[in-house]
Structure 1
Amino acid sequence: MKNKLLFGSLLLVAFIFVLYLFFPSGISRTSEEIPDSLQTELLFANEVYPLLKAKCFACHGDDPSEIEGGFDIRTLESLMKGGESGLAALVPGHPDKSAIYEAITWENPDLEMPPKENDRLTDTEVNLVKKWILGGALWPDEAQRMALMENHEWKHSGGIKVATSGALSAEWANRRYKEEDLWAFKPLKKVEVPVAFLREKEVNPIDAFIIRKLDSLNIEKTQKADQLTLIRRAAFDLTGLPPTPAEIDLFLNDKSQKAYENLIERLLDSPRYGERWGRHWLDVVRYADSDGYSNDFERPNAWRYRDYVIRSFNEDKPYHQFIKEQIAGDELNPDDPEMLVAVSYLRMGPWEHTGMSVAAETRQLFLDDITNSVGETFFSIPMQCARCHDHKFDPIPTKDYYRLQANFATVQFASMDASYLSFENIKKFEEGKRRYKKLLNEAEQEIDALNEKEEQLAREWMESRGLKYIGKWERAKLPEGKRPPRFYGLSFQELGYKKVLQKRIQRYKWELTRYEAYAHSVYNGPETKPYHSGRLVKKPENLSKENPKPTFILTGGSVYSPDEKVSPGTISAIQSFLDKAEAIFTDSIPEAMDGRRIALANWIAHPKNPLSTRSIVNRVWQNHFGRGIAENANNFGVMGKKPTHPELLDWLTNEFIQNGWSIKKLHKIIMSSEAYQRASNHEAMDDVKEVDPNNNYLAYFTPRRMTAEEMRDAILMVSGELNLEMGGLPVNPEINEEVAMQPRHIMGTIAPAYQPSPTPEQRNRRSVYTYHYRGLPNPMLEVFNAPNSDLSCERRTESTVTPQVFTLFNSQNSFDRSLAMAVRLEAENPSLEAQIKKGIQLAWNREAKLAEIEKGKAYIEKMVAYHQKHPPESRTYPTKVKRHMFEEMTGEAFEFEEKLEVYENYVPDVKPWDVTPETRALGDFCHVLLNSNEFVYIY
């Protein structure tokens, strides 16, 4: 009996010990102080009862028919009574007479709980239990407990209780969080600029915050960067392209005080701005032109969302409007094609449903995906940890996760009719349709021939047995012996190829939809039969008026384990720090079929939402300085790094809101600061790095390498090949041939070989307009850290690895671009010296030095002699590739040839055999320029 009582006591004590593990800073209590009745009741409501209910009721209360050891702890009376042993487990006011307290103190060798030395409670934990008993072990009922929790703040030295607004369970509400870890959930502060640190008049307020921090660390800022460095830095930051010689001259010759301001205005007005900053957003939302997973089906109309994003940045669309359009554009204006395109955001994640998929699981994967995506994209809070259990680190309970998810419970996929708008690029559509119709017709003719052969052999088989010939589908109903075997007469080679053709026809029909006016979109409605990848699905004409299916908390995140029903909602922890009268943070989201997403979008886009407003400001800062004020742009929670300048972040965010949510105005504020315009070197660099090794406090400007897209685009620009046409269908640049030809699984067969676009004009468009396959990334972009689009990219990584050297120095693409640059230099400049000067000016955005010109001449002369002795061998592009597969039914290997029809009328880039040895030698010089740090890095 005694052992049974001790077992019950152990459960209670063990949970108190677990509490310590989560909150090691402890609870500030004096062991001998006897609390008053209110404090005791608060202690019970906030500490003791949740421990009993969560960890002890399972054995001592949940099932009255199976109370362990007769020890029932559902009430104060039963706890005082004890179990079958007869020992008094709890004597109010007398810890020394309570078996629970005796056990946790280890004063009695026969009653030591927990029994393991490593699990023994600390003095702080023992004193917590002791104080509750000393206070009389008061036990308010449920209504009183809830009132105590709602109306009284309960703080400890180690953390703060996050209150609730009725949306969260009482158990979760009692968790503790360090106050500094909840910085992002708190309202924006009205921050005063520390003007004492503005050492000159009209200095940007940003610098006051930066200098204050540098002064506290005894670090001196470095000098301002020179004009050439500034224009190159600003041009790449805002447009992703190097400045042209004409742009440099305009800036250097502007002697007004507003020269730099005028430069920023020109760059922001450039259509290249939207392409650069649209790419940042597409990283976050995981844009791709294919679905991902094993089949990687194409998304024929996804390009319209990419162009919508670019337009939005160029138009400086207010960010709060940008939010609303992407989450609920179809609810804002279902008749506006632009709004139907905007909600493509909801479908940007990887997704696939086939005949092998389980519909309920596929549907839940989408709901989980968009719930986490909204959290990372707009809140900078990852949500996925709360899918199976309350978030271990952040104030996001599982209930909040599913309440947020319920906002998307009525979302259904469809290719929505959305007329092309006047500003959308639909060039090459007729040409593209002709190409795919031709391919479709050829495939259909081949399969018709195989079908005719099969039918002819079946006819002969039946007639030879005196049976009347009937068609294929009628034959299937006949008993065996009166019908030929399935696929009678076809060899395994023909049978395998027939299946290849069937898949190819399906794919061609799907790809033809890219030329139709559809949006990769959604609508609100009841669940229908599963949407299959690779097929055109339209919105039903007559939607059911039935009530939406309810959303449940899923135990363990399993769609097969629904638990408590929840209504649509938001992140309720924010309410803890706001005036409860704030209307936007009440549970006002409707449960009807329509209106959930627009209500959610209004909540996200409200100026008092501290997460969404800080999030976008931090992202913009990050893309100017290389890291955000809070370094983890997708994680403002405990596991993300805290802001280096929290007051600056709040000041900037308030400015952003007051300036009409204008991202362009935010650029101007940031880029006009001294911090942004500083040089990238420092006279006392060793001393600075000793105090601030990562330059978190911006004593100098941190250099960065070009991103993958910047590098490709900049090379094309200096080579004179870049096509600045905007928008429209994605294009295929040339990639490594071995990668292009490699077999890839798709739709139960081998995916078509990657074929580049037929003309240089098409191939050499900006990288943002290139086809973004999830299953076949561009090798050149991938090796330079272009992100995987399966996950949201909060910040580009910047590795330095050997394959990057091989790619930039040895790849065919680099040789082609260098040769094209040489052709340009010869066409524009009459002498070798002028060509060298122009090449350095284009690549390095500065004038060539005399020593560089002389070295360039010597090198080119040497390479001319080499190329005269080593003429290149010409080569042609392949027009077909042999494929090897195994026939599904027989397991036999078979082969077929895939036609590479693009190369039949292909216009190649300029090649070495097309030019003289002198041009090839100049190309080698250009190759050196494009491989230099001065080209690849932005200082």
Structure 2
Amino acid sequence: MLPKKSSLLFIFFGVAVSFLSGPPSVQSASTPTSRDFFEQKIRPILAQDCYECHQSSGPRKGGLALDDRQGLLKGGDSGPSIIPGNPDQSLLIQLIRHEDIDRTMPRSGAKLEDPVIRDFEAWIRHGAPDPRDFPPTQEELTLDTQWEAIMNRRKQWWSFQPISSEGTGNSVLHPVDALIQEKLEEVGLEAAPRADKEILMRRLSFALRGLPPSPEELRSYLLDPDPMAYETWVDTFLDSPQYGERWARHWMDWIRYAESHGSEGDPTIPNAWEYRDYLIRALNQDIPYDQLLMEHVAGDLLSSPRIDHANRRNESAMGTAHLRMVFHGFAPTDALEEKIRFTDDQINTLSKAFQAITVSCARCHNHKFDPISQEDYYAWFGIMASGRPGMVDARHRDEKDHQRRLQLKDLKFEIQNLLLERWNKHLGTFPASWEEASESWKTGISDSKSGDLFWPLAKQLESPQAAKAFWETVSAAHASLGSNQGGNQWTFKDPEQASQWFGFGPSMQTTTAAGNWTLESDGPTIVQQVLPAGFYSHLVSSKDPGALHSPRILLEQPMDLWLLINGDGGSMARYAVQHYPRNGTVYPVENLQGGSWRWKRFNLDYWQGDAVHVELSTAADQAVLAKLGQERSWFGARQVRFLPSGQSPENHVQVELYFPLLEIRKGVPPKNIDDLLKSYAESLALSLEQWHQGTMTDAQSLWLNQWIQRQQLPNNLDQDPVLTEKTQRWRQIEKGLASPIRVPGILETRGYDQPLLDRGDAKKPLHDVPRGFLSYLDATPYEATDGGRLQLAQDLIRPDNPLTQRVIVNRLWHHLFGRGIVSTPDNFGKLGSPPSHPKLLDYLAHRFKSDGWSIKKAIRFMVTSETWKRSSLASHEAERLDPDNRLWSHFNLRRLDAETIRDQLLWISGKLDTKSMYGKPLTGSHHRRSVYQRVKRNDLDSFLSLFDAPTPSSTTGRRENTNVPGQSLKLLNDPFVIDCAENWAADGNLDAMDLSQRITTMFERSFGRSPTFSERTQCELFIQEMVLKKKNHHQKFLEITTQKERWEETLQQMDEQARARVRKERSIALQTPEPQGPKPFAAWDFSKGPDDQMGQMKLKLEGGAVIKDG
């Protein structure tokens, strides 16, 4: 017998094409009795969906083989699978019809399309002719079931076919109406009449702006005799700023917009709101959709980005922010699984939002329904995973900024020359002997330590043994300099080694030679630091953003990471495991303060087998940990080393600055303190000369820097008016540099190919998959050295990609008409719905591109059709023949979405602020539009969520439409709603009107029309009833108040009586004599003797007792 869950693996898509679009094909002319019919309509289904589980020479589930005629007729354990001539009695037909939910075919559980089932029925009805006399050979079976054959069959599904450029013939109707009318005539339906002008105006305003028309706007439209008045208002609404706010919210649904990462702590995605503002601006400016799509995938990589020159903003660079809006768990112990999860989220969102296909379904195996292979998935995975989470600077560095930076460079050169002149003069004041040394030198020695300017002098004065040990240490360090290299170790004074790293920021594109220096941005001193060779983020300004990333390193053994770094202002150093951007537990972060050089060690033993990279960043430029309020921050890096766990690099940090002393003496230790002082002077003079020549060594830069830090070279502003003037000028220009516009984004480094994971198991990597597009369209691997996002963006809008245009026009139709031509806007694959009007969809897609990918033009085209303008009242025939209104004989009734409900409440109450646009997200009962409401994953707005605002977890092209009691209760009891109602009730304009005028005004503001007679009557009766109730309540209130006053008077009388009684009793108590205690009956005064002076008790002295002194 057949098993309850029969095993047909895939569903064939191509058969349905002839039923969905285009003219009849050659295949459609074949009959169920012909061989062509079997070869074209039956065998492909059997090969694709059946052979995997039902073969003569392989799997034969339920004893059934379907790869030859005899096996098909014989059937399996349940008997014959078909009865030629009788499809209804054929078991195969019953199973593919899903008549018994416990016994269905194919195995996937997805039912075959109705046209395919009808083909099988017709074939069996005509005797089931089958030319397969013998089971196929293994080679033939392989050809029938290999992926390439399956993919080619699946490519025949309607959405993967080229877009038809077929027009609407000679019809005088609007093209939309002509194509809609064609379908209506096929079933004999008539279109509904045009809706009333009030309804049209309201429909248009809500659709384009998300707000109702004002009474003044409505009145203007109704009284305008111009036959083009409607079109004028279409253009007015499309040109309004509110259009961008409305349609940006739709777009935010598509890319699951969020401003936090979720999980424990729910950290904010820094400046995610900049993306929302970017969308609003782009939509209001009608930026072409192909340009927006390029920006969403690779806006940071465009050679000619879109620049807002007025605000010096690189708009294109902001588009990739949506790729950062993924969920991140807290401190995952398996970083690779976390990376797979959030990269899968990126792939899922990108493919659904812009291609309406589910590429993520091919993570563990070839797609079960669509022509998407597992290799396609990992080709995209490599593209996404090659980029790293980070902050992107969207500030456009224009010519003005460039000139300022050149001015700073020139001033810096002039200041350096003035400093050299000052300091060379200062050399003449240098002590020739220790006896001549100033007090500051002697004080410096007393508090010096290793790495300090005075330490050699301190060792020389301490003892001969201490001096000898010191110089031996310096000599040994000098001899071993640079000896421990190789493997994953980098010294950034070597340009070749530095070129393997990736810098982001104005000063991070290359390393600097030793001797570069930085100025203090304020304060009494001039020089901040003289620097050895390395990467630095602040060579021009500490306001500049900066990030430095290492290549990708695979930890094949227990390792320690060592960084020779400095920094200040809260800059950060960390290692990122599998691109995970958060910190916590096994994800440490080092905050840099103070500006001193040091080796920082990170132990990586826990992460053996994982891939890591090193990140250094300024305070506000970490992907998640960004300290956005820190305006000035900087870091520097000289060396990075991955060493076997337990090993350490040679630590010359404390002694390297003494190399100039050793070199000036040619390795010979000084004889005495005066000899050493002479070497101090000579080494400083040489360092200044090398600084002037630009040929400094790292050690000389450190040595000169110590002289400055220890205030042994004049570095104050007040010591030279010319130097002061130039320094102040430098600071003034530096303060005028534009601050960065930081947005979340992707930092592109070197691309790598992702291994295909066996059944999606991260622990079972197989062969590497070259990065590339979807192979059904183009299997050519990308040749880019970076991740390939730019090529992916170009492939999304390539002329032969049929999905991009169809998907976006369907989304526009969905948001305008309430349902898409394809009712599953996020899935154009086999599991999605086919289009109700294929020719209309293709016409719109073709026109969309011809119109320059303009979203506004597409919307204008749709809303000027009669189909859009129709009444929502369905005829009886429409309800009978087309209950779901898939043929668009009338307009769909639609409920307002969550944001529009909230915005309309504010608008009606007169509190909506439509002037303020853009900016940081808001919380609570603010009065701006809901698009600006904070979207925090763990704390979503309760009002919007209740009315079906989407949870930001995946693409939402079609919102849920629920009807739950909580919605009514929210509108009755929510403080926000009550506040809106009270504000409206307090409108002084309403108070000046009579009841009828007030009802009319409130109706017009709420519903865009005057009330009907019935509505007015109901309102008047309701108000009269409320007035009467209020009067009765007031009367009861007065009665209760009067009764309350009586009781209060009675209570007061009782209180006074009680108090009087208490006072009386207290007064009586005061007049009563004091109670008398016991009276004495005996008393003695021993100065007078032992006799009782009061009574008769006389004492007798015995035992030698005497009375003395009383």
| TM-score after normalising by structure 2 | 0.52
* 1:233 aligns to 2:203 (yes or no): yes
Q: Does the Cα contact within 8 Å between 1:291 and 1:298 map onto a contact in 2?
A: yes
Say if 1:287 and 1:349, in contact at 8 Å, map to a contact too: no
Give the conservation status (yes or no) of the 8 Å contact 1:31–1:130: no
Aligned residues: 647
Which structure's residues are more often helix, by fraction? 1
Give the equivalent residue in structure 1 for 2:576. Answer: 529
Q: Structure 2 vs 1, CA of residues 870 and 228 (structure 1 numbering), >3 Å: closer, same or farther?
A: farther
Which residue in 2 is equivalent to 1:658? 850
Question: Given the alignment, which residue of 174, 177, 182 partners 2:157?
Answer: 182
Residue from 971, 977, 1001 that aligns with 1:814: 977
Separation in 1 of the partners of 2:226 and 2:785? 59
**CA–CA separation in structure 1 for the residues paired with 2:32 and 2:134:** 10
Q: Structure 2 CA distance, aligned partners of 1:844 and 1:522?
A: 57
Letter in 2 for 1:295: G
- Whether the aligned pair in 1 keeps the contact of 2:73 and 2:82 (CA below 8 Å) is no
Greater Cα radius of gyration, structure 1 or 2: 2
Distance 1:716 1:555, change over 3 A: same
Residue-by-residue CA offset, 1:204-230 (whole Å, 9 max, x unaligned): 111011111111111111111111000
Name whichever of 185-194 and 122-131 sits farther off: 122-131
SS at match of 1:268: helix
For residue 840 of structure 1, the aligned residue among 1003, 1009, 1022 is: 1003
Equivalent-residue separation in structure 2 for 1:321 and 1:186 (angstroms): 24
User: Which of 197, 208, 211 pairs up with 2:181?
Assistant: 211
Alignment partner, residue 469 of structure 2? none
Q: SS of the counterpart of 1:702?
A: coil
Asked if 2 retains the 8 angstrom alpha-carbon contact of 1:284 and 1:793, the reply is: yes
| Two-structure CA RMSD over aligned residues (Å) | 4.7
For residues 546 and 340 of structure 2, the distance between their equivalents in structure 1, rounded to whole angstroms, comes to: 20
C-alpha displacement of 1:521: 12
Is 1:384 the counterpart of 2:550 in the alignment?
A: no
Alignment of 1:249-260 (within 5 A): 249-260=219-230
Contact between 2:195 and 2:870, CA under 8 Å: does it hold in 1?
Answer: yes
Which digits, 9 at most, give the CA deviation of each residue in 1:167-198, with x for residues without a partner? xxx82123278779710001001112044xx4
Deviation at 1:396, TM superposition (A): 1.2
Q: Output one character per residue of 1:718-753: Cα deviation in whole Å (capped at 9) or x when no partner.
A: 10111121110011123xxxxxxxxxxxxxxxxxxx
Tell whether the 8 Å contact from 1:718 to 1:842 is kept in structure 2 after alignment.
yes
Task: Please tell me whether residue 865 in structure 1 is matched to residue 1031 in structure 2.
Answer: yes
Instruction: Kindly state the Cα deviation for residue 295 of structure 1 after the two structures are TM-superposed.
Output: 3.3
- How many Å separate the matches in 2 of 1:404 and 1:273? 34
Alignment of 1:366-405 (within 5 A): 366-405=342-381
Counterpart Cα distance in 2 of 1:237 and 1:854? 32
**What is the Cα deviation at residue 665 of structure 1?**
0.4
Question: What amino acid does structure 2 have at the position aligned with 1:704?
Answer: R
Mapped to 2, the partners of 1:189 and 1:787 lie a distance apart of: 34
Q: Which residue matches 1:612?
A: 804
Distance 1:598 1:785 in 2: 35
Distance across 2 between alignment mates of 1:248 and 1:420: 43
Task: Give me the whole-angstrom Cα distance separating, in 2, the residues matched to 1:47 and 1:623.
Answer: 40
Aligned counterpart, 2:643: none
Q: Deviations over 1:806-828 (max 9, x none)?
A: 11123222211111111125478
Q: Does the 8 Å CA contact 1:418/1:518 hold for their aligned counterparts?
A: no
Question: Does the 8 Å contact 2:151/2:371 carry over to 1?
Answer: no
Aligned partners of 1:271 and 1:517: how far apart in 2? Answer: 33
**CA-to-partner distance for each residue in 1:238-276, whole Å, 9 max, x for gaps?**
000010112112212221111000010000000000010
Letter in 1 for 2:879: K
Partner amino acid, structure 1, of 2:267: F
Deviation, structure 1 residue 591: 4.3
Q: Give the counterpart of 2:950 among 782, 787, 808.
A: 787
Gapped regions of structure 1 (runs ≥ 5):
1-9, 61-97, 108-112, 150-160, 162-169, 423-515, 576-584, 735-762, 872-939
- Partners in 2 of 1:797 and 1:101 — Cα distance? 47
Provide closer, same or farther for how the CA distance between residues 622 and 522 of structure 1 changes in structure 2, counting only shifts above 3 A: farther
3-state SS of paired residue (2:385): coil
In 2, Cα distance between the equivalents of 1:731 and 1:546? 35
Aligned-pair CA distance for 1:866:
6.3
Please say if residues 304 and 519 of structure 1, whose CA atoms lie closer than 8 Å, have aligned partners that are also in contact: no
The counterpart of 1:640, out of the listed 810, 832, 836, is: 832
Question: What stretches of structure 2 of length at least 5 have no aligned partner?
Answer: 17-26, 85-89, 93-123, 308-312, 399-541, 554-574, 584-588, 590-619, 624-634, 641-746, 1038-1110
Shift of 1:547: 5.6
Aligned to 2:884: 694
State the 1:638 CA deviation: 1.1
Query: Is 1:728 the equivalent of 2:919?
Result: yes
What residue number does 1:63 align with? Answer: none
The 8 Å contact of residues 151 and 372 in structure 2, kept in 1 or not, is answered as no
> Aligned in 2, Cα 1:867/1:842: closer, same or farther, shift over 3 Å?
farther
What is the match of residue 700 of structure 2?
A: none
Report if the CA contact (8 A) 2:69-2:130 is conserved: no
Describe the superposition over 1:86-137 as per-residue Cα deviations: whole angstroms up to 9, x where unpaired. xxxxxxxxxxxx9x98994898xxxxx96x33697998999999956659x7
Aligned to 1:347: 324
Q: Distance in 2 between matches of 1:690 and 1:523?
A: 65
Offset at 1:639?
1.1
Distance verdict in 2 for CA 1:25–1:815, change over 3 Å: closer
In 1, are the aligned partners of 2:13 and 2:156 still within 8 Å (CA)? no
SS at structure 2 position matched to 1:408:
helix
**Contact kept in structure 2, 1:239 and 1:275, CA below 8 Å:** yes
Match of 1:223, SS state, is: coil
2-structure distance, mates of 1:415, 1:634: 29
Query: Normalized against structure 1, the TM-score is what?
Result: 0.61
Q: Contact 1:731–1:770 (CA<8 Å) still a contact in 2? A: yes
Q: 1:250 to 1:523 in 2, by over 3 A?
A: farther
The CA distance in 1 between the partners of 2:216 and 2:748, in whole Å, is: 62
Can you list the C-alpha shifts for 1:566-613, whole angstroms capped at 9, x where unaligned?
11122222x3xxxxxxxxx4626224125x111110110224311111
Aligned-residue offset at 1:357: 3.7
1:569 aligns with 2:772: yes
Return closer, same or farther for 1:420/1:832 CA change in 2, 3 Å cut-off: farther
CA–CA distance in 2 between the matches of 1:866 and 1:348?
A: 57
- Partner of 1:926 in structure 2? none
1:451 counterpart residue number: none
Structure 1, residues 359-394: CA drift from partner, whole Å, max 9, x if none? 211111122111111110111111222111111111
Deviations, residues 640-677 of structure 1 (Å, cap 9, x unaligned): 11101000000011111000000100011100111100
- Check the 8 A contact 1:344/1:522 in 2, yes or no: no
Cα distance change, pair 537–863 in 1 and its aligned pair in 2 (3 A): farther
Q: Is the 2:69–2:133 contact (alpha carbons within 8 Å) kept by the matching residues of 1?
A: no
- Identify if the C-alpha distance between structure 1 residues 356 and 418 changes in structure 2 by more than 3 Å, giving closer, same or farther: same
Contact 1:414 1:522 in 2 (8 A): no
After TM superposition, the structure 1 = structure 2 runs for residues 892-911 of structure 1, keeping only pairs within 5 Å, are none
Q: Percentage identity across aligned positions?
A: 29
Partner of 1:171: 146
State the distance in 2 between where 1:796 and 1:864 align.
42
SS of alignment partner, residue 389 of structure 2: strand
Contact 2:260 2:266 in 1 (8 A): yes
Alignment of 1:295-310 (within 5 A): 295-310=265-280
1:621 aligns with 2:813: yes
| Distance of 2:139 and 2:355 partners within structure 1 | 38
1:4-38 Cα distance to aligned partner (Å, 9 max, x none) = xxxxxx9xx99xx9559856999999999999xxx
**Equivalent residues in 2 for 1:523-562, closer than 5 Å:** 526=552, 529-530=576-577, 531-533=580-582, 538=622, 548-562=751-765
Q: 1:367 to 1:838 in 2, by over 3 A?
A: same
